[in-house]
Amino acid sequence: MTDQAMIENELRALLRDCLGLSQQRVDAFDADTGLFGHLPELDSMAVATLLTEMEDRLGLVIEDDEIDGEMLESFGALLAFVTAKRQAG
């Protein structure tokens, strides 16, 4: 499995666990699938939990100033953020 495919699988699994969705449902997420702002259950505590779990599972450290609405806007944006972090790291 490529690094990119691994990241994508982990992110889908993470959203499945955080949002209580079926695997089938998260498998259908594409780059345009809306996240924060589109999903009412993602409040600030849920976002913090999601980011902290993302750090643990993907071996990242996310700084305060990197957290913004844009990275959480869509599945594609979140994937691009994590991919860039992994390449920079």
Partner 1 sequence: MHFASYTAPGGQEELALTFGDPSASTRLLVLPAWFDEANKLRHFSVELMRALERAGVASVLPDLPGCNESLAPLAAHDLASWRSAALAASQAYGCTHVLAIRAGVNLAPDLPGWAYAPLAGKAALRALLRARVVAAKEAGRSESSEALLQTGKNEGLALGGYHLGAEMVAALARAELPAHGLHTLTPADFDAAGLWLRAEPDHDGAQAEALAARIVQDVQG
67 within 8 A of 48, measured Cβ to Cβ:
no
Q: How far is the CB of 70 from partner 1 (least distance, A)?
A: 11
- Residue among 4 and 23 whose Cβ is closer to partner 1: 23
CA distances from 76 to 3, 88 (A): 16, 18
47 within 8 A of 36, measured Cβ to Cβ:
yes
Q: Residue numbers of the site for partner 1 (CB under 8 A)?
A: 16-20, 39, 41-53, 64-65, 67-69
Q: How far is the CB of 20 from partner 1 (least distance, A)?
A: 5
- Specify the 3-state DSSP secondary structure of 49: helix
77 within 8 A of 38, measured Cβ to Cβ:
no
Q: How far is the CB of 63 from partner 1 (least distance, A)?
A: 9
- Residue among 47 and 80 whose Cβ is closer to partner 1: 47
